[in-house]
């Protein structure tokens, strides 16, 4: 477990916590200092990354999210692909009722890119909504 572990390392392993029976819950994670690199130029890109979800049985543990997000710092990836990859990683571990990942990248060359990828439980991959 990463929570409370001073030796926890940066990796892409998201950890979850069981939730108690509850009224409907929506969770929103907002990372205002996200960085990755352009896959072509290797220049750094900065973004605000928002992950929202309605959990089914588990929630994601926030320290594991911090360490997960740090793994992208030196990786080259297109902005639109990042939204899809982060969404898939969260869906794989959470099996949520609904999940949305929005990346709002700072302007570069006069163009700012925002991409959103969404998942709805019960819809197959071809029918799930991915907006880019």
Q: Which of 11, 45, 74, 92 is catalytic?
A: 45
Q: Which of 11, 31, 38, 56 is catalytic?
A: 38
In whole angstroms, what is the distance from residue 25 CA to residue 15 CA? 19
**Does the annotation mark 45 as catalytic?**
yes
Q: CB pairs under 8 A, 24+ apart, for 86-90?
A: 86/49, 86/51, 86/117, 87/117, 87/118, 87/119, 89/12, 89/14, 90/14, 90/51, 90/53, 90/60
Identify the burial level of 125 via C-beta atoms within 10 angstroms of its C-beta, where 0-12 means exposed, 13-18 middle and 19 or more buried: exposed
**Does the annotation mark 89 as catalytic?**
no
- Cβ neighbours of residue 125 under 8 Å, at least 6 residues apart? none
**Residues catalogued as catalytic:** 38, 45
């Amino acid at each position: 477990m990463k929570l409370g572990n001073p030796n926890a390392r940066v990796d892409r392993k998201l950890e979850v916590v069981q939730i108690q029976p509850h009224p409907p819950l929506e969770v929103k994670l907002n990372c205002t200092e996200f960085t990755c690199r352009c896959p072509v130029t290797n220049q750094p890109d900065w973004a605000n990354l928002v992950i929202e979800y309605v959990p089914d049985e588990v929630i994601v543990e926030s320290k594991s999210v911090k360490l997960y997000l740090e793994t992208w710092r030196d990786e080259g990836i297109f902005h639109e692909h990042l939204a899809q990859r982060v969404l898939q990683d969260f869906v794989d571990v959470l099996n949520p009722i609904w999940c949305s990942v929005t990346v709002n990248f700072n302007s570069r060359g006069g163009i700012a890119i925002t991409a959103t990828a969404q998942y709805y439980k019960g819809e197959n991959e071809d029918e799930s909504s991915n907006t880019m």
